[in-house]
Structure 1
Amino acid sequence: MSRPGSSRCRALSAAAAFGFAIAPVPTPTPTQLDDGSLVFCLDHQDDLVRAAIALDRGTPAEQPELIRVGSRDLQVDEWRRLYPADFTRSCQALRIAGPRPSPAPAVAERPNSTPHPLIAPITTLTATVVGGVLTFLLTRSRDQVALRRQEAQDLQGAAQSFESVVRRYVYGWLEKKKTKDSPSEPQVIERSVELATKLRRVQNARPTWDEPTDLLNQLENEPLGRFLIDTEAWAPLDQADRQRRADLIFSSLANLARDADHIAYLHQRPRQRKPATSETG
Structure 2
Amino acid sequence: MSAEQLPARIDLLKAAFGDAAAKFEENLNEGALVQLHLEELWREIAAVRGHKFKLERQKPVYKARAELASKVPQFWYNSLQNCGPMAQFIDPVDEDALKHLKEVSIEHGEDVREFEVKFTFGKNPYFKESVLSKKLTLTPPSSVTPKPEPAAPYDLEATTYLASATPITWTSDDHDLTKKAPRSLATDKEEFDEFEGPGSFFNWFKEEGEDVTTMGELLLEWYGHATEYAAGLAAVDDDSDDQGFDFDDDFDESEDEDPKKEIDLSDEEKRPKKKQRK
Superposition TM-score tier, normalisation by shorter sequence: under 0.3
Calculate the TM-score normalised by the size of structure 1. 0.25
Higher normalized contact order (CA 8 Å, seq sep 6+, divided by chain length): 2
More helix by share: 1
Say which one has the larger Rg: 1
Calculate the TM-score normalised by the size of structure 2. 0.25
